[in-house]
Homo-oligomer: A and B are copies of this chain.
Amino acid sequence: MKMKCTISYDGHLFNGYQVQPGKRTVQAELEKALAILHKSEDKVPVISSGRTDSGVHAAGQVIHFDTPLSIPAERWPYALNALLPGDIAVKTAEHADDGFHARFSAIKKEYRYFVYTEKHPDVFKRHYAYHFSYRLNVQKMREASEHLIGTHDFTSFCSANTEVRDKVRTIYELDWTDTDDGLQMRIVGSGFLYNMVRIIAGTLLDVGTGKFSADDVKGMLDAKDREAAGRTAPGHGLYLWHVYYDN
């Protein structure tokens, strides 16, 4: 039986999603809980829609795994949440078709980036939003965002430490919402390169302060050079929000 689950995690005490020897990771905790549930010495491998970096959160990460257990789908979150640490929670579980794959079946992903601009730090947001206490011109940030929407080579917006060759991706939606609680960037794309969302957020914040113009961002895309774009915004403001599948 193949199970598909939506999970959330608070990234701040994890060394990212993916298993790394000797480090606390989300995947390792999931596989540990599943091994207990399966009373198994062997690992129950968990496949996710993709890794997230250290400190990055997930509101709607999707995973799949195979299981011989005949637990009803709606009981899976209770069974796993009882075994998982408090900073990981299973939100939903459902039986999936054999052909389903958390990573390869994904057609779009949505990330959100949270910023707050209050003068003084907010203790309740210190791990959950980026404190950037500069005056921001959100209108300019929206204009710059328009240049990034569509299908482009995002080499300038990708960490230089990557082995991926094809850096063409499609951004379907990219907008900024100004709320009482701060600024929120919402980005939906076909897929994202390493650090791409954080470099986009950092660069657009630099547009907000006036360091770059909206048109500069168009030039950054054309440059195809990581040095051309702005800063990588810190991981703790970033949330993997939703993974879209066909069904």
Instruction: Tell me the A residues contacting B by CB distance below 8 Å.
Output: 8-10, 57, 77-78, 81, 86-91, 119-124, 126, 128
A88 close to B123 (CB less than 8 A): yes
Of B10, B57, B77, B126, which contacts A86 at CB under 8 A?
A: B126
Most buried by B among A78, A120, A122: A120
User: Could you tell me the distance in whole angstroms from the C-beta of A246 to the nearest C-beta in chain B?
Assistant: 25
Q: Interface SS of chain A: helix, strand, loop or mixed?
A: mixed
26 contacts between A and B (CB under 8 A): A8-B122, A8-B123, A8-B124, A9-B123, A10-B123, A10-B124, A10-B126, A57-B124, A77-B119, A77-B120, A78-B120, A81-B120, A81-B121, A86-B121, A86-B123, A86-B126, A87-B123, A87-B126, A88-B123, A89-B120, A89-B121, A89-B122, A89-B123, A90-B120, A91-B120, A124-B128
**Bound CA span A126–B91, Å:** 14
| Chain B min CB distance to A11 (Å) | 9
CA distance A9 to B77 in the complex (A): 32
Closest 10 CB pairs of A and B: A10-B123, A86-B126, A89-B121, A89-B123, A87-B123, A8-B123, A77-B120, A91-B120, A89-B120, A9-B123
